Amino acid sequence: MSLNLEQYVSEFSAQNINGEHLLQLDGSKLKALGMTSSQDRAIIKKKLKEMKTSMEKARKAQEKMEKQREKLRKKEQEQLQRKSKRTDKSPSDATEGTKEQ
């Protein structure tokens, strides 16, 4: 409707075309849905291409964020392990020092 193509809404609804299905449509499928105007099909295909590009960018950004979180989590875990090792060594070091005396 935002593309001023509301004449196709009823057919898309009747065919249960949702967002996921919409992204799978190509020119021939749009034509089969009753979109006889090549200009209308071109508008839809252009908008679908923009949406796919936007979704891909969002997916890549999400993957990048997840990698950064994982890297930070590993770094924190390594720091905790180092702290734990230092804590474990300190009492034994003190014990060994008293044994030597």
Structural domain contains residue 2? no
Structural domain contains residue 12? yes
Q: What is the rounded CA–CA span in Å between residue 82 and residue 92?
A: 16
Q: How many CB atoms lie within 10 A of CB 5?
A: 16
- The domain tally of the chain equals 1
- Give the torsion sign (CA, 70, 76, 77, 82): positive
Structural domain contains residue 13? yes
Q: The CATH number of the domain where 74 resides is what?
A: 1.10.150
Q: What is the pTM of this model?
A: 0.61
Structural domain contains residue 16? yes
Structural domain contains residue 90? no
Structural domain contains residue 46? yes
pLDDT of 46-95, one tens digit each? 999 999 999 999 999 999 999 999 999 999 999 998 888 888 776 555 55
pLDDT at 91: 55
Average pLDDT, the chain: 86
pLDDT at 83: 85
Q: Is residue 98's pLDDT more than 70?
A: no
Residue 40, amino acid: D
Structural domain contains residue 100? no
Structural domain contains residue 19? yes
